[in-house]
A and B are shown apart, each in its own frame.
Chain A
Amino acid sequence: MKKMIKCTINNYPVEVEEGTTIIQAFKKLEQEIAHYCWHPGLSIAGVCRLCMVEIEGNNKLQIACNTVVQDGMVITNQSQKVKDTVRWGLEFHLINHPLDCPICDQAGECVLQEQYMKFGAYQPLMSEDKVKKRKVVDLGSKIVLDTERCILCARCTRFTDEISKTKELGIFNRGDRSEIGIFKNKPLENDYALNTVDICPVGALTSKKFRFQQRVWYLKKAPSVCTGCSTGCNIDVYYNEEGLWRIRPRHNSSINQYWMCDKGRETFKHVNPSGRLKSSFRHTAEQTEKMTTFQALQTLKLDSKKIGLVLTGSYTCEEYDAFLDFFQLHSIYHWKNNPKNFEDYDNFLIRGDKNPNTKGLLESINKRQLKLEDCTQLEQNISHLDLLIVCAPENHKLYPCLEEKINLFLKSKELVWISPHSHTLLQKPINTVWTIPSKTYFEKTGTFINHHGTRQKIKAVASIVDSARSLEEIIHILKTGQTDLTQIASIRDKMKTNYFMEQKGSL
């Protein structure tokens, strides 16, 4: 326990831990303070010179990011002196900054824009020519750089130095000729490179994939948990009525801090309606029958059959519980994305287990003292089964062994394939195959348990495919023969009180 000290910020008394910098105290109090170079996840650079504060008894203004709060300090950034300085600081930032906000992809979430509106001078004094620098510089397959828009806050270079430790980026030249760049033949291609785009306060670094796709003010964001691997990074999903557009990390000090990997940022594409399984089908060798999910579940005969269940780690704990409670199962199999590197870890965020809830699956199994076999065991047992239910992965791309496994599943007498996506192999089977659309993480509410055992709750944001049902809902239909979904909500509420008491990183 650190010692707490008292100080006054803009006339509000506040108590902070010893060693806190002034800017952290400002953030804690939610007081506005202009800044570019300071980022809570990076070292202090102190170069933008905007977070100026006046400390009582000190004639000279101090930067808040590198000044530690001392007991009894009286700090303000509301005085005229500070306001003038900030206004001029912005003026200095803008004299060589191009005024191409209409083209710039950052417009709308640009810190420079925001802070100019709040603190700026509105009366440009510069009448001389701006310094011209390179535009649309290719930094590799992921990122585009505009050196003119760069305000040299050095966040990105600090990121590559300190967090990814790959050191691709550097600030070359000096004075107002300085520019961010990479060395000729070494592109910015590390697994975390796109974080530099997030932390760039202006539109200097933009992601090639997202660039010019949407203006950010058309997008809404929803908090969620990344389903790309078992780390369970906290994310914000940006979406609008046309679909999902991008994923950015959300701060969680105990899991991903401020970062996420570039692979995780791609885990929104499978959620979008194109390519989703839009209704249930019953494929047989002779014909394909389209039906609603409700119909399909009504027609499905489960009585007195030997049922095998294949589970992947992409479903929520609630779904596993519902499934395992309902069925009388002959055997349960765990389908891993890639058994060889399943335990891999790059010592930062990326794990080989490409499922968000493998821990949750194991927990549900262990709670019921069931036996979970590896998917390789299925080969021998498949002939004993009457019906095989496969809760397939949500994101097929993360499963390199997908086709091989589908061919195995197709050997069963009857196959129920529950997934947001279908597969061409399933459409021309020898025996009967049911494909039932399930929901993605964006459409369902539930709990994921990450690799460290942290429970994280996700919340349904929008309905994307109407006919899709979560496993819970499927069980509900099977149990009651009704599609009344309000009942599920009550079950969920009950579970909430049971499960989410001590969770961290909740939404």
Chain B
Amino acid sequence: MSVTKRPKKSRYLIPIFGGMLLTFKILLKNLFSRKKMLTLNYPEEHYKYGPRFKGNHILTVKKDGSLRCTACMLCATNCPANCIRITADEHADPNVEKYPISYEIDILRCVFCGYCEEACPVDAIRMGPEWQTAALNGSNFVYDIKHLAHRENLKGGVQSVVDDKERHKAGI
């Protein structure tokens, strides 16, 4: 533990005025050149994050719009917050074999660690640029397939770059 010697009482005034000076300097600067202002007028304005930002989850889709997810449950296994719930079922196409009939992420539990994305062997889950999870009381914070793969922002779903044919050729 380090002990700092307290300054005398009268000396406090000097840094207070110093601080006030800085505050007013920035206030005046912002008043006259608003473009250089650092803060945003949220929620009218949004900050643009980099492409690697790990925000809300997206389930990628195949060309036909069906989920790429094979319900291997590696994401759920890796999830440290235990917020992913998947129910798998038999698919009619023997080459697909297994697919999720329900995929739920409890976004309030999620810690946005990105392990699910890391664990996924088929690039089926990604963390997208959206970061707003706020919603009104009574909203559903457990995201289902409809939300994760087909919400409006995604404009018909995100396709993965992995080629299905190549993947099947390799026997995956």
Contact = CB atoms under 8 A, between A and B. Distances in A.
Chains A and B share a contact (CB less than 8 Å)? yes
Task: Among A97, A107, A134, A136, find the residue whose CB has the most chain B CB atoms closer than 10 A.
Answer: A136
The majority secondary structure among interface residues of chain B is loop
B59 to A, nearest CB: 15
Interface in A204-231: 211-213, 215, 217-218
A91 to B, nearest CB: 15
A215 B77 contact: yes
Contacts of A102: 70, 72, 74, 121-122, 172
B77 A130 contact: no
B70 A103 contact: yes
Given A211-B90, A212-B71, A103 B171 contact: no
Contacts of A213: 88
A136 B171 contact: no
B95 A135 contact: yes
A160 to B, nearest CB: 24
A115 B101 CA distance: 32
17 contacts: A99-B170, A99-B171, A100-B97, A102-B70, A102-B72, A103-B70, A103-B72, A103-B97, A105-B98, A130-B170, A135-B94, A136-B90, A148-B171, A211-B90, A213-B88, A215-B77, A218-B77
Contacts of B71: 103, 212
B95 A212 contact: no
A138 to B, nearest CB: 10
B89 interface: yes
A189 to B, nearest CB: 20
Interface in B73-131: 73-74, 77, 88-90, 94-95, 97-98, 121-122
B46 interface: no
Interface string B50-76: 000000000000000000001111100
Interface of B: 70-74, 77, 88-90, 94-95, 97-98, 121-122, 169-172
A134 B90 CA distance: 16
Contacts of A98: 171-172
B171 A100 contact: yes
B72 A212 contact: no
Contacts of A344: none
A217 B169 contact: no
Contacts of B89: 212
A240 to B, nearest CB: 12
B98 A103 contact: yes
A470 to B, nearest CB: 33
Interface of A: 97-103, 105, 107, 129-130, 134-136, 148, 211-213, 215, 217-218
Contacts of A136: 90, 94, 97
A101 B97 CA distance: 12
Given A100-B171, A100-B172, A148-B171, A215 B97 contact: no
Contacts of B90: 136, 211-212
Contacts of B122: 102
Task: Among B73, B90, B122, find the residue whose CB has the most chain A CB atoms closer than 10 A.
Answer: B73
B172 A99 contact: yes
A80 to B, nearest CB: 30
Nearest to B88: A212
Task: Among A136, A211, A212, find the residue whose CB has the most chain B CB atoms closer than 10 A.
Answer: A212
Contacts of B88: 212-213
Contacts of B121: 101-102
Contacts of A215: 72-73, 77
Nearest to A217: B77
B68 to A, nearest CB: 11
B17 to A, nearest CB: 62
A136 B89 CA distance: 13
Nearest to B101: A212
Contacts of A212: 71, 88-90, 98
Given A102-B72, A148-B171, 4 more contacts: A103-B97, A135-B95, A212-B89, A215-B72
Contacts of B171: 97-100, 130, 148
A217 B170 CA distance: 26
Contacts of B94: 134-136
A97 B169 CA distance: 12
Contacts of A211: 90
